[in-house]
Amino acid sequence: MIATLIAASSILGQEKSAKDFYPLIPNSTWVYEESQKGKKDKSTLEMTVNEAVKFRDHDVIPVANKMGRQVTNIYYQVTDSEVFVLGYDLEQMLDKPIPILKLQGKEANWNYRGSTQLMGYPASLSMQCTSKLLGKRKVLGEECEILEVKYKAVIDEDSGGLKIESEQTALYAAGIGLYEMKEIGNFGKQRTERSLKLISYEKGN
């Protein structure tokens, strides 16, 4: 009986949460190599987690995304089973949070219809998403549990202008976060191919 309880406790202790795959610890920094249609960009993408701030009496976590001289902020909320994007500006947050990651057993499926921003303008967003645990792989020299998240998304500018279609596969490593992403789609009439590859990660405290 005792041995059974110990074994059960061991199994439960190995269960992962969304926070493991999206570890938004203040002062953490990820640096990614970005490629467009197989050609590496000269600049890297750097993501840094800042201290949590209050929004409607809840803690939200800002992440600064720096590409060259351009810096944008994304505000997140993370639970044990889900990760949400809440917006890009505290003065003008989204009406409905966007669920970008779910962890519910081995696999999860979800859809979303709501609003977002496209180049600073209001836009509608529809998404079909799946997530799946893939087992362990080596990431930055560490053996990590891997979560694959796939998205099919359509963004329509509310003014009836630009339309974006995107299919994306993102791989997350437990304890590290996003380490690889591949995306294909259409930006208006232009075909796009983009990828990210993690080259360094510094955990905050």
pLDDT digits (tens, 9 = 90+) for 67-122: 988 999 999 999 999 999 999 998 889 989 999 999 998 999 999 999 887 777 78
CATH topology of domain 16-200: YmcC-like fold (2.40.360)
Q: What percent of the chain has pLDDT over 90?
A: 69
Long-range contacts, stretch 81-85, CB < 8 angstroms, 24+ apart: 81/17, 81/18, 82/18, 83/18, 83/22
Q: Which of 19-23, 38-42, 101-105, 175-179 has the lowest mean pLDDT?
A: 38-42
pLDDT at 129 over 90: yes
β-partners of residue 34 are 196
* In the chain, where the domains are located: 16-200
How high is the pLDDT of residue 7? Answer: 35
Cα separation of 22 and 67, whole Å?
20
> Cα 60 to chain center, whole Å?
15
> pTM for the complete prediction?
0.88
Q: What is the pLDDT of residue 9?
A: 32
Residue 10 has pLDDT above 60, yes or no: no
Q: What confidence score (pLDDT) does residue 65 get?
A: 97
